[in-house]
Amino acid sequence: MKTRHTRTGGARARRGAPIGALTLALVTAGSVVPAAAAPGNPHRNPAGDPDFGPNVTFVDPSWSTDRINALLDSVNDEDEFSLNRHQVFFEPGVYGSAAGQEDPATATDIVNQTVGYYEAIAGLGAQPGDVLVNGAFQVNPVVRCPDTPWACQDPGSLTRFWRSLSNLAINPIQTSVGADRDLPFPPGTVAPHQMRWAVSQAAPMRRVDLRGDLTVFGQMGEYASGGYLANSRVTGTLSTGSQQQWYTRNSEVGTWDGGVWNTVFSGVDGAPATDFGPHADGTTGNKTTLDATPLSREAPFLYRADDGGLAVFVPAAKRESSGVDWSTSTDAGQSIPIDDFYVARADQDTATSINSQLARGKHLILTPGVYRLDKAISVKRAGTVVLGLGYASLTPTRGNAALTVADVTGVKVAGITVDANVPRSDVLVQVGRKNAHKSDPADPTTLSDVFIRVGGPWAGQAVTSIEVNSDDVLLDHVWAWRADHGTGVGWEANTAAHGLVVNGDDVVATGLFVEHYQQTQTVWNGERGTTVFYQSELPYDVPSQAAWNDDADPGRLGYASYRVADAVRTHTAYGLGVYAFFNQGVDIRSTSGIATPAGPGIAFRSMTSVFLNGSGGIEHVVNDVGGPAVGSFAAPQVVAFP
């Protein structure tokens, strides 16, 4: 019998606040990554499809719900830093019965399971409604105190990372499963027509038609540090509750409720009005709403074409867009047949074999696994698509980059995780060579659901995680994370200066998460940059103030998380939260979470600094504006700067 995961993995910041206030494989130098053990795959590729390997499963309507639930239960119990990866595809059709929708306790024939680490679930329809699931794909918080869960809200969902759901419709019918059913307060319990997806970073929900209510936090208000929802429809209520931050883009919601510090909507039909900042009645708001998203492109996805074969649809980029767009017409994007892709496998391919196929003009699918790379995967052809399945992970082994894009336009990279290694890499993902000059505003190079880790599964080091040198680049849902827990973690162990460095002009980031880097976490040198939603925690493990002062800026204490270079004349950003938890018992200070010039072309909206716990804190929100976030869960806000 399976037991519920209760490990915290070395928790993220302790948020000991009331409800609603807040939320291993060791690889040594020389880095030998063990091969991931592949579970038995009860259903291989349908006839005519490429060989996607043992970690991709295709489910079709001939499967019973018992068989589907058993499959999902066999792939949802990976540890937080497991090397196993799983992709589950649902062929077009209807799954499960709606008979219990008014009273989930009576439901007997529903698809209903938890979704675990490194598990990606997706439909293969051209429209989300082509795959209709009666049931729930649920994520619940860690239950540390089963008898009094309201008294143990930490860690809750703070480490519910690395899982995804996309391209299907759900009639939500959810009940607790497995050992959860025997707890005094089963965490999977929800009201009729509701599904719980209580996640934090790197757990996107895209292109989902949720025909009911969606709650993204635990039933007892457990802490959560999410999250991202895009190109989806929630017909009922979207409840963000104790989520300290959440970003919803180009979607539709019936109604919305909850949130703590930084809740951002862009291009969302039904979004609430902006209320960020202090109010006359002494309350503070947390919502920032943009009527349209300045630049967007939905992630490429695999689907069944009319002829029954697989294809990858690559949506076109759009400007000032709003609402969902599920079209696969020629006006909405490009459909690329599967024969134009090289399907790589971690147990068979090397950087050399992959690059050889890219040089032949192939696009690339990375099937689930951990790819050890002695040189970078090198994308040199304009318009190339690199699509990762099931959290496919890249790790350099010789101090090289994991992925580089040449001075070309229109490259699309989606669904990959990159793990730093030793020896140290100067950069892990590089978009454009230094001084790149080729760009196309109508077809921006796009990174979607790209997640970087420095430390965690093993010791790793890198100077910069992502470097953008090209102009006209879109970063849509990126999480760059210097690990605060796991293996190989420590101030001198998983060293990393910057999560993101932007040198190109006209770069847009929508849903940017950058955490725990040891110097300026996000450095923006390019002109006309735009960020919509930013979440960052300062490094926890700073040993002393002297170890964390910027020699190039002797007038300030510590580093800003988000810095716009002094020479930049035009920059725009909406919805930024920078949090502090210095856990070494030393009074560490940052002069400000955000540093920027203040010229007429600079516009920041909706910013907050937050003291989570520990010692020290942040003295100002932006430059010398905004009160201190020092002690007692202080969360000062600045509505606009200048």
DSSP collapsed to 3 states, 514-568: EECCCCCCEEECCCCEEEEEEEEECCCCCCCCHHHCCCCCCCCCCCCCEEECCCC
Q: How confident is the model at residue 324 (pLDDT cuts 50, 70, 90)?
A: very high
Which residues lie below 8 Å from residue 301, measured CB to CB, with a gap of 6+?
A: 122, 166, 167, 207, 312, 313
Over residues 88-94, the mean pLDDT reads 98
3-state percent helix, strand, coil for the chain, nearest multiple of 5: 5, 40, 50
pLDDT at 137 over 80: yes
Mean pLDDT rounded to a whole number for the chain: 93
Question: Which tens digit of pLDDT belongs to each residue from 366-389?
Answer: 999 999 999 999 999 999 999 999
Over residues 12-32, the mean pLDDT reads 35
**155: cis peptide before it, omega within 30°?**
yes
Pairing of strands 277-278, 284-285: antiparallel
H/E stretch holding 66: helix 65-74
Are 113 and 88 within 8 A, CB to CB? no
Which residues lie below 8 Å from residue 348, measured CB to CB, with a gap of 6+?
A: none
Over residues 295-299, the mean pLDDT reads 98
Q: Tell me what pLDDT residue 633 has.
A: 80
Catalytic pick among 78, 222, 537, 619: 537
Over residues 594-600, the mean pLDDT reads 97
CA atoms within 13 A on the CB side of 318: 21
Sign of CA dihedral 9, 634, 203, 342: negative
CA distance 163 to 166: 10
Identify any residues that bridge with 195 across adjacent strands, giving them in sequence order: 214
Share of the chain above pLDDT 90, in %: 89
For residue 80, indicate whether it is catalytic.
no
pLDDT at 1 over 70: no
Question: Which tens digit of pLDDT belongs to each residue from 401-440?
Answer: 999 999 999 999 999 999 999 999 999 999 999 999 999 9
Q: How far is CA 399 from the centre of its chain?
A: 25
Instruction: Tell me how far CA of residue 242 lies from CA of 19, 159, 174, 220, 478, in angstroms.
Output: 7, 14, 21, 9, 22
pLDDT at 4 over 80: no
Q: Tell me what pLDDT residue 44 has.
A: 60
Q: Tell me what pLDDT residue 14 has.
A: 37
Question: Which tens digit of pLDDT belongs to each residue from 540-586?
Answer: 999 999 999 998 898 899 999 999 999 999 999 999 999 999 999 99
Over residues 107-136, the mean pLDDT reads 98
